[in-house]
Structure 1
Amino acid sequence: MSRPGDWCRRGSRPGAGDGDSRPGGWWRRKSTPAKVETYTRWSFHFFAVIEIASVGLAAFAQVGTRLATWLCLLVCVHALLCAVTASRALDWTRGRREQPVRLMWVLGGVTAVIANVALALAERGPGGAGADAAAGSVFGGVLIFGAGTLALGVRNRRRVLAIVAGFALGAGTFAFPLGVPGPAALGTAVAVLVGASFFAYTSVFSVWLLNAVYALDEARETRARLAVAEERLRFGRDLHDVMGRNLAVIALKSELAVQLARRGRPEAVDQMTEVQRIARESQREVREVVRGYREADLGTELAGAQSVLTAAGIDCEVDGSATGLPAQVQSALGWVVREATTNVLRHGDAMRCAVSLRVAEGRVTLSVENDGVPDAESGAAEPVKGSGLAGLRERLSKVDGVLRAGPAGGGLFRLTADVPLPPAPEPAQHPEPGSLKPAVPHPVSEVTP
């Protein structure tokens, strides 16, 4: 059995080792929060590609090769710095690094310098509509992507708003000294404000969502640990209730027997006999407690499987009731549910699990079906050959049951246990009221006095 904290990270499966060389194996080995973090991180890196493609490379279609090369080089430097800053800021939000304050100041300074260089090229460059459009695109682009990246490095919403407003105000302020017309400068400021706001708050929301996923994963792990702790407390409480009084009586009677033995009183033997009786009774009660703790009740196991799988983020549906089934059948099928639940958690990356219990024609059929099993189509599902299922087959053989496990098609894995119901005892036949015959007296032999 795995520890409670192991299966909460469903992506970190024992069945997927470090040597998994299958395509996409590195992705399947990641936990769900790690997958979300990887997606978020590479989304921010992709923003740098978007900046280069939409701002830097677009300049080649507007101006000559020499000027476009310089503009594209500036945009590439800015995009690379934004990607590094976003990565460090994301590590800071997860508590792995300190806040990248110096890197953020460098990014802010580089953004301002590139924006001024773009305006200077537009003012003193070769001129023409194409050059002005290329310079304006570089000017607005670096301000928008710079503001959005800097928003990752702060947590306060007011500071995010201040960064966005500052960049938008700076767009208009930089434009006026270079002779840009008032409407054009105002339009540039508004464009930077809208674009930077969208990018900044998209970044903030992505970080918030990532933190929420990690918090949910920690809550599920805590819930599993609490469930185990609660079960241990229940067992400890039952054991204390059974043994506490008996041990106290044994200690008292043993002390009394010692005192009586020292005085040579014959009652000491009676006291030790009573101690022996209580000790045996305590052994019997402890066995009952342990047996009740180890035996699997089918109804309890069905409810527990649904609770555990739901806590692990798996949509679990349970259909059927164990009411009225014999105790030995419930115990055998309860172990099947317990082992099947463990396999769903430890193997594959299931998102859905369906448990079905059917009683028909004197047989009980339990079916557990889940998705997310790797190589289910090829029949190479690892759980089939596990020792856990071998133990289940031994348990089911005691009640003449049959266990089947294997791929079910469509990326599904199905485990089915089929157990015959024991024949019901025939009711006692009571004679009808009018059919009773009078008893014939046996002949009484004469007894000679």
Structure 2
Amino acid sequence: MTFTIGLIAVTVRISAWSLGVMSRLRDAQEVKTRLAVAEERLRFGRDMHDVLGRNLAVIALKSELAVELAQRGQPAAMDQMVEVQRIARTSQQEVRDVVRGYRKADLRTELLGARGVLRAAGIECAVQGDGGRLPAPVQSALGWAVREAATNVLRHGNPQRCAIRLETAPDSARLVVENDGAPPGTAVVSGGGSGLHGLRERLAAVGGSLEAGPTGEGLFRLTAAIPLPSPRSTEPSPQEKD
């Protein structure tokens, strides 16, 4: 009798322990699900900012230029509005791609686009390097860096000149974007806005880092650095040679 009672007690305890474990597992799964949803929302918000930030700035810029040209009676106003229409349609497709999670930034396209946009805004822009031999994930991360940097140049200060340099070495890739016209007393960007925060996340995903802040005399510099994996040696070992 005593043995039976003891067995029942042990069985009850094991059952209670099992139920507790199952409950904790369910709670852990719910937490994991909520974290996944939160992460996806952050990704979506970051990508939407990156996609629409520069495009909306360019649309506003070209619309203002079209108005000025139209007021002067110049036919070039039509060309500017055609370009606004093209950018708007491109933005629609990019938003769809973000929703699907497929969009990637092409480094060469972003470099050419940044130069064209800044020059259209009356900002002299020089571009050095194209990063054609960099790994695809590195090119994508640096492409986003170019886009964010160009957006910041358009939005902040009164720049006249901008220099974009892509420096590559066997063990690293470095993007430097420097412009004049930074407002006096500009603070070093540590946390930054949502654009720079999202860019830091993209760079961190490939082991990179971001620095942005004034360098003095009205200059502002953004530097994105990414280490590159060491190339695998194709030289045969002494044993293979023998």
Point out the structure with max Rg over C-alpha.
1
3-state SS of 1:385 partner: coil
Please, which of 207, 225, 228 is the counterpart of residue 84 of structure 2?
Answer: 225
- Answer yes or no: is 1:341 the counterpart of 2:150: yes
Could you tell me which residue of structure 2 aligns to residue 366 of structure 1?
Answer: 175
Could you tell me which residue of structure 1 aligns to residue 11 of structure 2?
Answer: none
Q: Distance in 2 between matches of 1:347 and 1:215?
A: 30
Q: Distance in 2 between matches of 1:389 and 1:311?
A: 24
Q: Distance in 1 between matches of 2:217 and 2:181?
A: 10
Q: Deviations over 1:303-352 (max 9, x none)?
A: 11111111222111101121110111111111000111111111122221
Q: Deviations over 1:143-200 (max 9, x none)?
A: xxxxxxxxxxxxxxxxxxxxxxxxxxxxxxxxxxxxxxxxxxxxxxxxxxxxxxxxxx
Please, which of 125, 130, 137 is the counterpart of residue 328 of structure 1?
Answer: 137
Deviation at 1:373, TM superposition (A): 2.1
Could you tell me which residue of structure 2 aligns to residue 5 of structure 1?
Answer: 59
Q: Distance in 2 between matches of 1:374 and 1:32?
A: 24
3-state SS of 2:178 partner: strand
TM-score normalised by length of structure 1:
0.36
Q: Distance in 2 between matches of 1:328 and 1:353?
A: 26
Deviation at 1:223, TM superposition (A): 5.5
3-state SS of 2:115 partner: helix
Give the gaps of 5 or more residues in structure 1.
10-30, 37-92, 95-210, 240-285, 436-449
3-state SS of 2:232 partner: coil
Judging changes above 3 Å, is the alpha-carbon distance between structure 1 residues 307 and 226 closer, same or farther for their aligned structure 2 residues? Answer: farther
Could you tell me which residue of structure 2 aligns to residue 388 of structure 1?
Answer: 195
Q: Distance in 2 between matches of 1:227 and 1:410?
A: 38
Matched-pair contact (CA < 8 Å) for 2:106–2:139: yes
Please, which of 297, 310, 313 is the counterpart of residue 119 of structure 2?
Answer: 310
Q: Distance in 2 between matches of 1:399 and 1:372?
A: 31
**Bigger share in helix:** 1
Q: Distance in 2 between matches of 1:381 and 1:419?
A: 21
Please, which of 374, 393, 399 is the counterpart of residue 206 of structure 2?
Answer: 399
Q: Distance in 2 between matches of 1:351 and 1:32?
A: 17
- Kindly tell me the number of residue pairs found equivalent between the two proteins: 184
Matched-pair contact (CA < 8 Å) for 1:7–1:346: no
Judging changes above 3 Å, is the alpha-carbon distance between structure 1 residues 306 and 227 closer, same or farther for their aligned structure 2 residues? Answer: farther
Matched-pair contact (CA < 8 Å) for 1:314–1:352: yes
Deviation at 1:386, TM superposition (A): 1.5
Judging changes above 3 Å, is the alpha-carbon distance between structure 1 residues 332 and 365 closer, same or farther for their aligned structure 2 residues? Answer: same
Deviation at 1:357, TM superposition (A): 0.5
Question: Which amino acid counterpart does residue 222 of structure 1 have in structure 2?
Answer: M
**Bigger share in strand:** 2
Judging changes above 3 Å, is the alpha-carbon distance between structure 1 residues 425 and 379 closer, same or farther for their aligned structure 2 residues? Answer: same
Matched-pair contact (CA < 8 Å) for 2:170–2:230: no
Matched-pair contact (CA < 8 Å) for 1:404–1:415: yes
Q: Distance in 1 between matches of 2:190 and 2:83?
A: 23
3-state SS of 2:183 partner: coil
3-state SS of 1:231 partner: helix
Q: Distance in 2 between matches of 1:225 and 1:421?
A: 38
Q: Deviations over 1:52-80 (max 9, x none)?
A: xxxxxxxxxxxxxxxxxxxxxxxxxxxxx
Task: Indicate the RMSD between aligned Cα atoms, in angstroms.
Answer: 3.7
Could you tell me which residue of structure 2 aligns to residue 170 of structure 1?
Answer: none
Q: Deviations over 1:34-65 (max 9, x none)?
A: 9x9xxxxxxxxxxxxxxxxxxxxxxxxxxxxx
Q: Deviations over 1:389-441 (max 9, x none)?
A: 11111111111111000011111111001111112123273834xx4xxxxxx
Q: Distance in 2 between matches of 1:232 and 1:221?
A: 16
Tell me the percent identity.
44
